[in-house]
Amino acid sequence: MIDAGLIQSLLARSSGSTSQRTHQVVWPATGEAAFALPMADAHAVSAAVQTARRAQPTWAERPVSQRAAIMTRFRELVLQRREQGMDLVVAESGKARKDALEEILDIALVASYYARIASRALRDQRHLGLIPGAIGVRERHLPIGVVGVIAPWNYPLTLAATDAIPALVAGNAVILKPDVQTSLCALWVYALLVEAGLPESVMRVVLGDGTTVGSAVIDQVDYVMFTGSTATGRTVAQQCASRLIGCSLELGGKNAMIIRADADPAASAEIAVRACFANAGQLCVSIERIYVHQSIAEAFIGAFVHRTRQLRVGVEAGWLTDMGSLISARHQGVVLDHIADAVSKGARVLTGGTARPDLGPYVVEPTILTGVDHSMHCFTDETFGPVVWVQPYSGDETAIQRANDGHYGLNASILTKDISVARAMATKIRAGTVNINEGYAATWASTATPMGGMGISGLGRRHGVAGLMKYTQSQSIATARVRSLRAPDGFDGQRWGEVLVKAVSLRGRLGLK
């Protein structure tokens, strides 16, 4: 599926290893062996971190505008080489080509955004000191040092590139550890960054499993950006805490969609299909449960089932597929277990529900369930596949309560004609992003807006200024133009204290920061 020469040229860009271990990568579209991935070890991680740490100070000394210009060139290279990038994504992940294109576009948007705002966001800020005119304060934003980015398989280009971009723009070096299934995508990102002007040593790519290589990365870097399951996120957080280093975690979700009584059933079904089955549901912000008002439930469900059955499912590498494969046999097993568990306990399959080996070894039909309750795994546990369940509701407050039922809080959606009501409802939903009349793309693609989870869906934010500043540490430098803040000659402690109280009071009344 991918030229052997390209595979070898990309693998050559990974940080070397003294290990003899390899991992057999399998193409999800066929289940066939693809190539042997050389696995790094702890020694290789140490060497990579040391290389990056030596290169980082010189990189940080470059003007922000120069670092940003590299990201602008990188964006253009990504768009120019988009066919090759999509080929890699489709081959390694099994997703539909249209879903791979979303990754290309996402990288371009994020690179453009940070190239545009970095100089302004990172410049020094001046503040008034305790005594304006006598004391001045300057706030600086310094890079943290070496940032570890641990990226998952489900969006292998996006999550390798868009977390590394702001870290690099902020002046950090980056150690990128992709999932073993999608290492070529991460190496492609690295290759294009180097071609755009990034010094090779400022970013290193280490290949291997999470237990050995991921853990070694966390043990040696200065900050960690992790995207993955909540269970693994807890382990990452604990390991970071033991070293007193910061981390940002985007974790799981059990995302809800609320469809109000005034929503158009057919239009809502179209939005729901995209929100539930994009990338075969292997998306942290994907909708996995739908609450539809009882007055339109029958019409919506009919339209939703009809539209879902029209999806073109398969592993064809071109543009004729709407939904592709799951990533692996193991993950397919988890998804099918969720469906079987629900059905065994009384849930009803409205469409889908089965594997389709005739289409691809790991393909599962897009599945709609009804009659799901708390006894079933798919009610509260993240399925991370093309499975959604639908439940009618009677009132807005009930829908909000159900949307907030659970410990996740990543994404939510509200479909309605009454925008003002939807905005009011959104403020009551415990989720990091809420989309009105969309499933997830509206918030995700708004790169100026922070994105992340509440509850057990994560810590920190990506995108926006917050997604840049998390890779920095602030330093405050105060300059006193008076010799001392002690009481002047002739003032006793009480009189001088009264002067200070009046000064603080006046400062507050004048609104001085």
Residues annotated as part of the active site: 250, 284
Return the CA Rg of the chain: 26
What is the identity of the amino acid at 10?
A: L
CB 444 within 8 A of CB 275: no
Which distant-in-sequence residues (6+ apart) come within 8 Å of 75 by Cβ?
107, 108, 111, 112, 115
Q: Are the C-beta atoms of 10 and 37 separated by less than 8 Å? A: no
Read off the tokens for 285. 């912000």
Q: Which of 470, 503, 502, 488 is nearest to 224 (CA)?
A: 470
DSSP annotation of 402: H
Query: Among residues 295, 309, 310, which one has the least CA distance to residue 265?
Result: 295
CA distance 244 to 38: 31
Give burial (CB, 10 Å; 0-12/13-18/19+) of 507: middle
Tokens representing 356? Answer: 């389709």
The distance from CA 286 to its chain's CA centroid, rounded to whole angstroms, is 12
What does the alpha-carbon distance between residue 503 and residue 161 come to, in Å, rounded to a whole number?
50
Q: Which two tokens mark 442?
A: 């509206």
CB-based contact 233:210 (threshold 8 Å): no
Antiparallel, parallel or unpaired: β 472-480 and 135-143: antiparallel
- Please state, in angstroms and rounded to a whole number, the distance separating the CA atoms of residues 24 and 313: 26
DSSP string across 288-354: EEEEEETTTHHHHHHHHHHHHHT--BS--SSSS-SB---S-HHHHHHHHHHHHHHHHTT-EEEE--S
Hey, what amino acid is at 185? C
Element (H, E) at 235: helix 230-243
Q: Are strands 411-415 and 433-436 parallel, antiparallel or unpaired?
A: parallel
> What is d(CA 41, CA 37) in angstroms, rounded to the nearest whole number?
13
Q: Which helix (H) or strand (E) holds 95?
A: none
How is residue 462 annotated by DSSP? B
Helix (H, G, I), strand (E, B) or coil at 158: helix
Which pair of structure tokens corresponds to residue 103?
């990754």
User: What is the number of other CB atoms lying within 10 angstroms of the CB of residue 492?
Assistant: 8
